[in-house]
Structure 1
Amino acid sequence: MQHPAVPELAHTHTRPIHWVATATAVAGVMALSSVVQPDSATAAQPAHASPRATHTTAPDPAGVDFPLTCGPVKAVVKTKATGDLDGDGSPETVAVVHCDAPMGTPPDGVYVLTRSADGTPRVVATLVDPKDGNTVSDFSVRDGSVLATLLGYSSTDVPRCCPDVTEPARWQWKNGAFLRSTPAGAHSV
């Protein structure tokens, strides 16, 4: 009888430990491949994507607790507008809010809403404080700016029904804050 040139190899006979080691290695590769995934393919890349942009819908002002003291009546959203004011790719909502007074002309507040980390709307800025006594007209959001006409009173002797001061205003996000300016060509009456 002739002996083989190569001695018998231990790994040519399968044992249960070999199957366990193979199953463990395959499970490890599967787990690693589920964690490490390539980005999904797209037909075109966005011109300027922001990694912070996570919400595509503007916050809804319904149910937001505005910093407005109304006593026994509730706060009412008079009008709202949306747009990306800070350039992060997510739209903000700007709401004109006043107390639901049974008579007279209640002053307006203008508030900027964004979404918190959990997606709920929250007030991040007050552009017009109701304590100033102004009402807002010709309100809009355009090109990253909030535009409005503020109607006010020259003295306490002017009836609250009939504002006699008109002041155009514009707010724009710059260096981490909303800066107010008067739009070009605007005149006070």
Structure 2
Amino acid sequence: MQLSAGPDLPHARSRAGHWLATAAALAAAIGAGTFVPHSDASATATVTESSGDVTQGAPDPADARFPLHCGGVPVDVVSQASADLDGDGRLDTVAVVRCDSPTGTPPSGMYVLSPPATPASRPRITGTLLDPGKGLSVKGLEIDGRTVAATLLGYSSDSVPRCCPDLSRGFTWSWRDGRFLTLPDPGAGSV
């Protein structure tokens, strides 16, 4: 699905080859990042909950330290969902975070948090589903069973204002064999 920026804007016109190249590059970049487990990876998923209150006992993103460089502005938890993703009997939380900015749309990161090692410690980041360095935003975070789903929003060119992503594509992440596997949703005219 492409968000319309209006018929007269030059960045809104693209050809099928551009869409295919963009989709392939994005799928490769995100897929490569999720096939490599995080340094302390072992994640989990099964109950669903979207933004709002986190299921009792699940890691609270407000207590976590995310690897974002926000230049002194706070980290904003955009949405969160909790479930037992790896079947270990403990709830994990998937958090979509970004730097809190009054202008534009800062890129999002999407992280899997596991419960802290001790009651006095912070939740652990055990998986990175989307690195903010990719320059994308996230909407519609959901968990169904052991599968995380979201729509990633991006830009067709550097001339597209950072407030208004003009590309989107759904992705799912499933915990299998000790890591998250990424699958893009099929679809033409998407990220």
Q: Structures share a fold, TM > 0.5?
A: yes
Deviation at 1:188, TM superposition (A): 4.4
Deviation at 1:84, TM superposition (A): 0.9
Distance in 2 (CA, whole Å) between partners of 1:144 and 1:170 is: 10
Match of 1:149 in 2: 151
Match of 1:52 in 2: none
Distance change in 2, residues 1:171/1:72 (3 Å): same
Match of 1:51 in 2: none
Distance in 1 (CA, whole Å) between partners of 2:92 and 2:150 is: 16
Unaligned runs of 5+ in 1: 1-55
Q: Confirm or deny that 1:59 pairs with 2:80.
A: no
Distance in 1 (CA, whole Å) between partners of 2:86 and 2:189 is: 28
**What is the identity percentage for the equivalent residue pairs of Structure 1 and Structure 2?**
49
8 Å contact 1:153–1:165 — kept in the other structure? yes
Unaligned runs of 5+ in 2: 1-55
- Listed as ranges, the matches of 1:1-189 within 5 Å are 57-119=57-119, 120-183=122-185, 186=187, 188-189=189-190
RMSD: 1.5
* 3-state secondary structure, aligned to 1:62: helix
Deviation at 1:182, TM superposition (A): 2.1
Larger Cα-atom Rg: 1
Distance in 2 (CA, whole Å) between partners of 1:104 and 1:161 is: 4
Deviation at 1:133, TM superposition (A): 0.8
Deviation at 1:178, TM superposition (A): 0.7
Distance change in 2, residues 1:186/1:140 (3 Å): farther
8 Å contact 1:98–1:108 — kept in the other structure? yes
Distance in 2 (CA, whole Å) between partners of 1:180 and 1:187 is: 18
Greater RCO (CA < 8 Å, at least 6 residues apart): 2
8 Å contact 1:74–1:100 — kept in the other structure? yes
8 Å contact 1:168–1:187 — kept in the other structure? no
8 Å contact 1:138–1:149 — kept in the other structure? yes
Distance in 1 (CA, whole Å) between partners of 2:105 and 2:92 is: 27
Tell me the TM-score normalised to structure 2 length.
Answer: 0.65
Deviation at 1:157, TM superposition (A): 1.4
Distance in 1 (CA, whole Å) between partners of 2:85 and 2:168 is: 25
Aligned AA (1:103): T
Distance in 1 (CA, whole Å) between partners of 2:173 and 2:117 is: 25
Distance in 1 (CA, whole Å) between partners of 2:188 and 2:82 is: 26
